[in-house]
Amino acid sequence: MSEQQNWAIDALQALGHDTRLSVFRMLVIAGSAGLMAGEIAQGCRVPASTMSHHLAILERSGLATAERESRVIRYRAHFDGMRRLLAFLMEDCCQGDPLVCADLFELTVCKS
């Protein structure tokens, strides 16, 4: 198994939990501003100690980053990690025919 595949398995396992998937989506929505750990815990109605465990898993998987600001930690979605995972999953989707995945971009276009 390749290093890339091992990384993808870890990232998918991180997202394979309801709370962590919700947190990741919250961080994606928050964008570059990110969210404080306490805000995330409140938003998910999860105790802070449990949330820190989930956030650590997302960070280790390369899907989130953490930055200490005084006494609190701000988390952000790691968009490079997300792109890396999506690229890995879609790497062979076209099988040489770009029309197979032509509408994929339309499904992911940012909506205002």
**Per-residue DSSP letters for the chain?**
--HHHHHHHHHHHHHTSHHHHHHHHHHHHHGGG-EEHHHHHHHHT--HHHHHHHHHHHHHTTSEEEEEETTEEEEEE-HHHHHHHHHHHHTTTTTT-GGGGTTHHHHHS---
Whole-number Å distance between alpha carbons of 81 and 62: 5
What's residue 112's pLDDT?
52
Q: Where are the domains of the chain?
A: 3-108
CATH of 3-108, one of 2.30.110.20, 1.10.3720.10, 1.10.10.10, 1.10.1520.10: 1.10.10.10
pTM, full prediction: 0.85
User: CB within 8 A of 15, min separation 6: which ones?
Assistant: 21, 24, 61, 63
Report which residue type is found at 83: R
- pLDDT-derived band at 105, boundaries 50, 70, 90: low
Per-residue model confidence as pLDDT tens digits over 20-75 = 999 999 999 999 999 999 999 999 999 999 999 999 999 999 999 999 999 999 99
In percent, the amount of the chain with pLDDT more than 90 equals 71
